[in-house]
Amino acid sequence: MRLVSLLAVTVALIPATALAQTEPAPAPAPTAEDDDHHDHADEIVVTGVRRGSVIGDIPPENQLDARDVRATGATDITELLDALAPQIGSARGRGGEAPVLLVNGRRISGFRELRDIPPEAIERVDILPEEVALKYGYRADQRVVNFVLRRRFTSTVARADGDHFVLKGHKALITNAPEADLFLIYARVDGRIVPGQTLEQYLAEVQRVVGPDVRINVLDHHDGTVFDAATPLYDTITRVLARRDPGGVAVPYMIPGFTDSFAYARLGATCYGFSPVRLGPELNFTRMYHGHDERIPVDGFRWGVRTLWEVVSEFVG
């Protein structure tokens, strides 16, 4: 039992002895010089630039925030640049030089990187003087337009063209993140206003389909055109076709395609879509129309040229 007690005491005494031997000497009192050095060591200077700013310290001549961009009414980058034209044109050189376009303070490969970015994705627009163009390798006769995009923006761009519907996302310049500040579906649709229908009626029908939460902007439009079939020209077409294709009947119909007839109609001209071609029953031309394999028979083309010649010759007499 004594042995156990002795060992316990010995183990308890060894650390105490070691602590007594290694206790450091008290530190000297700080002097005024040390205090001054300590104050300077704690100073931290942080220099930063605004996100998306351009190279250098030349300030913008003008800045537009997201509200200013919306106020222009632009629905795409092209319309926005048109709205800013008085501010971004350069008076140097020959005059009217196109501006240098940047995205987040960086050069871009071309306008195609910008064209599908909706104005809603723009946080601000910096318009800078010509001197900034030199810093990016351009001549000093072009102003610089810097588009600063939102940090998080999700954009799905849809384009409807004919019977093709393509969806594509833009992730190179716009972050596609679940915590996006704004989610936008941007669609460009090519529609048709049928004869007798007004633009307001067409837009009301589209709005009914897409719902009240979708904003519709009309880029361009013109009304459908209708021409009377009881004219000397139509009678001439009917006679020539009866002669060139016995048993064939000329039938007026409505086409959804886009032609120049609406412009001629404003001048009072009568227009018919008449392009005669003879097609055999083995050729399904409607599936080839405007496709990569579109073609017509050579003999059918020659037949059509002759038919068209006879119509024109007979009509002008």
Q: What is the pLDDT of residues 234-244, one digit of tens each?
A: 999 999 999 99
Region 183-204 average pLDDT: 78
Q: How confident is the model at residue 315 (pLDDT cuts 50, 70, 90)?
A: very high
Region 191-214 average pLDDT: 86
CATH class of 232-316: mainly alpha
Q: How confident is the model at residue 273 (pLDDT cuts 50, 70, 90)?
A: confident
Cα four-point dihedral sign 284, 288, 293, 298: positive
Amino acid 31: pLDDT = 61
Token match 């579906």: residue?
185
Q: Residue 269 pLDDT > 50, yes or no?
A: yes
Which one, of 251, 270, 254, lies nearest residue 262 by Cα? Answer: 270
Question: What are the structure tokens assigned to 180, written together?
Answer: 């996006």
Mean of pLDDT over the chain: 75
CA distance 216 to 267: 31
Q: Which residues are 157's β-sheet partners? A: 168, 186
Amino acid 193: pLDDT = 83
According to CATH, the topology of domain 62-149 is Ferric Hydroxamate Uptake Protein; Chain A, domain 1 (2.170.130)
Give 259's contacts (C-beta < 8 A, 6+ positions apart): 271, 273
DSSP β-ladder status, 100-103 and 106-107: antiparallel
> Under a CB-based contact definition with an 8 Å cutoff, are residues 74 and 118 in contact?
no
Give the CA distances from residue 164 to residues 82, 179, 259, 308, 313, in Å, rounded to whole numbers and listed in that order.
Answer: 30, 31, 20, 33, 40
| Spans of all domains in the chain | 62-149, 154-210, 232-316
Question: What are the structure tokens assigned to 272, written together?
Answer: 């018919």
Q: Residue 296 pLDDT > 60, yes or no?
A: yes
DSSP β-ladder status, 144-149 and 164-169: unpaired
Question: Which range (26-35, 77-86, 260-269, 271-280) has the least confidence?
Answer: 26-35
Decide which of 116 and 251 is more confident.
Answer: 251
Structure confidence by residue, pLDDT tens digits, 48-88: 556 667 777 788 899 999 999 989 988 888 899 999 988 88
